[in-house]
Amino acid sequence: MVGYRVHYYVFTDLPDEVPTVALGEGRQLTVIKTASSNRWQEISLRRMEMIEKLIEDEVINKAEYIFSLDVDSKFYAHWGAESLGDLVGALHSWFFGKSREQFTYERRPESQAFIPLDEGDYYYGGAVIGGRPDKVLKLVKTCRMQLDVDRANKIKAVWQEESHLNKYFLYNKHTKVFSQSTRCFHDDQVVRSDCVGGYVQFDCDNITVATTFFALGKYVRFLKDLLESAEQHFMVGYRVHYYVFTDLPDEVPTVALGEGRQLTVIKTASSNRWQEISLRRMEMIEKLIEDEVINKAEYIFSLDVDSKFYAHWGAESLGDLVGALHSWFFGKSREQFTYERRPESQAFIPLDEGDYYYGGAVIGGRPDKVLKLVKTCRMQLDVDRANKIKAVWQEESHLNKYFLYNKPTKVLSPEYLWDDQQAKLSFMKVVRFSRVAKNNTEMGVSALFTHTENQ
Ligand SMILES: CC(=O)N[C@H]1[C@@H](OP(=O)(O)OP(=O)(O)OC[C@H]2O[C@@H](n3ccc(=O)[nH]c3=O)[C@H](O)[C@@H]2O)O[C@H](CO)[C@H](O)[C@@H]1O
Ligand SMILES: [Mn+2]
């Protein structure tokens, strides 16, 4: 956090032994005397309640973010603003790449930290907790209370407060939304990719990003601006393979492509129904991944064609499974999300569920992960069709359902999915990709605001 104001709080029973360390500008250190304790577990457990008190008494009014870090540690390289988020966890190095069954979650139902064998996303280390003070307060308060219940029941979770932390993160997912303020690049040709706090490293030179655009009927007219702007802003410096699906191959414009970039046109059957086209994207992407992309590209994106790039969209957007927040619903509450609410549809999401409203215009990730997504959505769409029900926002509704139960490992901020007709929010620094204005009647999109027409 070099370049930021940092306030260290050192809790110790030996204040006189706290070393004097020269602090940079804007950095300060407060020593807080605590009672001694010889029991290691006791000390580790009591951190939760001490952090709770510190946040309530002081941090809540004084800091934008808080971290609690293990003291038997050392920094070896840059740790900056890219680590900030509403609620931040770190993957425990010992369990990185291990499967769920190998995680040392608390397995006894008697403990409040209990996690059933078939649940759990990651194993988080107890050594790093971070986020907005109010979010971290909720975390430490909940863990402290669970610890108290366990104590009253004379049970101690297998990894003490770390077990409770893992339980908390399971049901209160970390949120990390990439935006302009996030520093994503790292030196040494290594890209730091967000993987909920774990760093996935890969060689920048060796990536191909497949990208699909569907341009049927009048939508071919969007291709020129879109492709030209993509050449300027999208994954510049990487190999990019555009796949353009269209029923009008002759009308695909010739756009000069940079080095390492290519475009394949795939002829599709025509269709006049907007919903049908948008729905069929899923199965066409499925086929494309299986037939070709799975062996040829490290990542794939499927993007709406009625769009344009306005600024850099690079490797910071890559992740195992990537979604983007729909600009219309950004900052709105769950009740306002236009999820499918009829239990008869496979896209059904109950009123009290759902994290975000994702736009159908951006799907991305590793080919195998995206394949699983499009296959699942396609099958759900098939079931709905058989049951003669069409989800309120077609495939976008199914996508939202999928992301609810298969969380994206990266959520792109609405910078990556804006709308030209929507005023930029004051705190937004940049729009990277945006939906261009179109005349819906002319384009045959009668259903845009009348999606009740669906049935
Ligand atoms: C910003 C955003 O998240 N947009 C989503 C939204 O409205 P949109 O109004 O953005 O939908 P849209 O008209 O762009 O249709 C989706 C896509 O289908 C293709 N297409 C459609 C009609 C046509 O005649 N020819 C053609 O090629 C084209 O690639 C287009 O981008 O809701 C749709 C619901 O189905 C999709 O989920 C869109 O991704
Ligand atoms: Mn669109």
Residue 291 sits in the same domain as residue 434: yes
**Residue 455: per-residue pLDDT:** 32
Q: What pLDDT sits at residue 97?
A: 72
Asked whether residue 185 is domain-assigned, the answer is: no
User: Residue 46: how many CB atoms within 10 A of its CB?
Assistant: 18
Q: Same structural domain for residues 164 and 294? A: no
Q: Are strands 66-69 and 124-131 parallel, antiparallel or unpaired?
A: antiparallel
Sign of torsion, CA 415 220 262 323? positive
Is there a binding annotation on residue 339?
Answer: no
Contact partners, residue 216, CB within 8 Å, separation at least 6: 245, 246, 247, 248, 268, 270, 271, 277
Ion ligand 2 — residues with CB < 5 Å: 304, 306
Domain boundary residue among 175, 208, 225? 175
Residue 188 lies in a domain: no
**Range(s) of the domain holding residue 28:** 6-175
Residue 180 in any domain: the answer is no
Q: Do residues 232 and 287 both lie within one domain?
A: yes
Within this chain, do residues 290 and 381 fall inside the same structural domain, yes or no? Answer: yes
Ligand 1 centre to CA of 274 (Å) is: 8
Tell me what pLDDT residue 11 has: 96
Atom of ligand 1 nearest to the CA of 396: 37
Number of domains in the chain: 2
How many Cα atoms within 13 Å fall on the side-chain side of residue 151? Answer: 12
What whole-number distance in Å separates Cα of residue 297 and Cα of residue 307?
23
Beta bridge partners of 411: 177, 323
Question: In terms of Cα–Cα distance, which of 275, 273, 242 is closest to 384?
Answer: 275
At 430 the pLDDT is 87
Are both 278 and 142 inside the same structural domain? no
pLDDT of residue 205: 57
Tell me, yes or no, whether 80 and 130 share the same domain. Answer: yes
Domain boundary residue, one of 141, 175, 209: 175
> Distance from first CA to last CA of the chain, Å, rounded?
54
Report d(CA 293, CA 298) in Å as an integer.
Answer: 8
312 is written with which tokens? 């850099």
pLDDT value for 445 = 59
The answer to whether residue 183 is domain-embedded is no
If asked whether residues 268 and 160 sit together in one domain, one would say no
Pocket of ligand 1 (CB under 6 A): 214-217, 219, 274, 277-278, 304-306, 326, 359-361, 393-396, 417, 435, 444-445, 448
Predicted local confidence at residue 444, as pLDDT: 64
Domain boundary among 175, 203, 226: 175
CA 393 / ligand 1 centre spacing (Å): 10
Do 200 and 289 lie in a common domain? yes
- The radius of gyration of the chain's CA atoms, rounded to the nearest angstrom, is 24
- Shared domain for 171 and 294, answered yes or no, is no
Q: Residue 184: inside a domain, yes or no?
A: no
In this structure, is residue 182 part of a structural domain? no
CA distances from 419 to 310, 361, 433, 444 (A): 12, 11, 8, 19
Q: Are residues 269 and 405 in the same domain?
A: yes
Tokens of residue 252, six digits: 């695909």
Has residue 1 been placed in a domain?
Answer: no
Q: Clarify whether residues 325 and 197 are in a common domain.
A: yes
Co-location of 223 and 364 in the same domain: yes
Does residue 268 form part of some domain?
yes
Give me the sheet containing 208-214, strands edge to edge.
177-178, 410-412, 321-325, 358-365, 299-303, 208-214, 239-246, 261-267
Residue 81: CATH number of its domain: 3.90.550.10
CA of 410 to the centre of ligand 1 (A): 22
Q: What is the pLDDT along the chain (455 residues), one digit of tens a residue?
A: 998 999 999 999 999 999 999 999 999 999 999 998 877 777 877 899 999 999 999 999 999 999 999 999 999 988 887 788 788 888 888 987 788 889 999 999 999 999 998 888 788 999 999 999 999 999 999 999 999 999 999 999 999 999 999 999 888 875 544 432 333 322 222 223 333 333 333 345 578 999 999 999 999 999 999 999 999 999 998 999 999 999 999 999 999 999 999 999 999 998 878 778 877 899 999 999 999 999 999 999 999 999 999 999 988 888 889 999 999 998 788 889 999 999 999 999 999 888 889 999 999 999 999 999 999 999 999 999 999 999 999 999 999 999 999 988 888 888 999 999 998 887 777 899 999 998 777 776 544 433 333 33
